Structure 1
Amino acid sequence: MVDGVKKRKEKGYTISAVSEAYGIHPQTLRLYERHGLLKPSRSKGNTRYYSEKDLERLEFILTLTRELGVNLAGVEIILNMRDKMDAMQREIQRFLEYLRMELGERLVSQVTEKFALVPLNYSAWLRARVSASESEDERDVSFTYIEHDQ
C-alpha cells in the first residue's frame, strides 16, 4: 500500500490518490494509460482503480523516466521486453517442473543404462586413474567422452 493513501475497499487506489502519493499530475497517469504503459481497472462508473501491481509498474516507469531519462517510447519497449521475459521465465519454470517429474523417475535408469554401455576394461582404467590421481594429491581429473557403437 502507498504510504498515507487509503485503498477504496478492495478495488484499488483512485487516480487522485495515486497522483498525490507519487507527486505526478493525474493527466500524466492518463497519458501512461493511453500509451498502454498502465492498465488500471475500471468501475461501472468508469472510475480508474490502480492495483498494487499497477503501482509497482508505475514506480518502474517513474524510475526509468525520472532517474534514467528514458522517453515514453523507450519505456514502452523496456516494459514489453520485461513482460516477454517474465512470460518466458514462467514457461521455463513450467518446463523444468515437467522435466523433473518426467525425468526424475527415468533419470536413474537412463544413467545406469548409459554406464552399462561402457566396456568393463574402460571402467577399470577409469577407476585406476582416479585412484592414482587421488594418491598423487591431484584433484583435477579430466575425462574424455567417447561414444561407443552398439
Structure 2
Amino acid sequence: MDADDPIFPIAAAAELAGMHPQTLRQYDRLGLVVPRRTAGKSRRYSLREVAQLREVQRLSGEGVSLEGIKRVLELENEVVSLRDRVRQLEAALANELLTRPGARVFASTPQGDVVPLRHGTRAARRTELVVWRPRPLDPDEIEDAEYP
C-alpha cells in the first residue's frame, strides 16, 4: 500500500486525524488538504493527507493562520515532489554509469587538462597520466610474487 493511495472515506479520515468531518470539508474548500474523489464524487483521503490534517491541527493549535498553514503544506508537498525527482535522477545516473562502463576513464595532459578516453583506448602521448583503479590482490599472489 502506498502512502498516496486514496483509501479512507471522510468519516475514517476525520477519526484518524481527530477532527470533525465538517472541518475536513472546510479544509477541502479552502484548498488546505484536497482529497481525491471517487466516480460518485465522494472524498477519499490517503495516509499522506491524514498526516497533513494532523499537521494542520498542530499548526493551528500553535496559532498559525490558515493561510500560513496552506503555505507550509504547499512547501512540504514541493519538498516531497523534489525528493521524488532527485531519486529518479539518481536512478537514471546510476543506470547510465552501469551501461557505460568505460565512460569514467580519463587522462591528464601535461598542462593539467582532463581528457576523457573511450573504453579500450590509450592516451595519445607518453607524457599523459592515465588514472585507473587496480584490482585487489589475492593474498596468495602476494606471497608467490618475485621481486627483483
- Which band: TM-score by shorter chain? 0.5 to 0.7
Name the structure where helix makes up a greater proportion of residues. Answer: 1
Aligned counterpart in structure 2 of residue 25 of structure 1, from 15, 20, 35: 20
1:72 maps to what in 2?
A: 66
Report whether the alignment pairs 1:42 with 2:37: yes
More strand by share: 2
Map of 2:88 onto structure 1: 94
Secondary structure of 2:8 counterpart:
coil
Paired with 2:103 and 2:7, the residues of 1 have a C-alpha distance of 53
Give 1:1-150 correspondences, 5 Å limit.
12-66=7-61, 68-106=62-100, 109-110=103-104, 112-115=105-108, 117=109
> 1:1-44 CA deviation, whole Å, 9 max, x = no partner?
xxxxxxxxx97333334334444232211111011122223345
Question: What are the superposed Cα offsets for residues 90-127 of structure 1, whole Å, 9 maximum, x if unpaired?
Answer: 222211222222234546553x4235x4698897xxxx
What amino acid is the match of 1:93?
A: R
CA distance 1:99–1:61, shift in 2 (3 Å): same
Q: How many residues align?
A: 111
Instruction: Note closer, same or farther for the CA distance 1:106–1:114 as it changes in structure 2 (3 Å cut).
Output: farther
In structure 1, stretches of 5+ residues that fail to align are 1-9, 124-150
Q: Which amino acid aligns with 2:97?
A: L
Of structures 1 and 2, the one with the larger relative CO (CA 8 A, separation 6+) is 2
Q: TM-score, normalised by structure 1?
A: 0.56
**Residues 93 and 118 from structure 1, CA distance in 2 versus in 1: closer, same or farther, beyond 3 angstroms?**
farther
User: RMSD in angstroms over aligned alpha carbons?
Assistant: 3.2
TM-score, length-scaled by structure 2:
0.56
1:100–1:13 Cα change, 3 Å: closer
- Percent identity of paired positions between Structure 1 and Structure 2: 28
Unaligned segments of structure 2, at least 5 residues: 112-125, 130-148
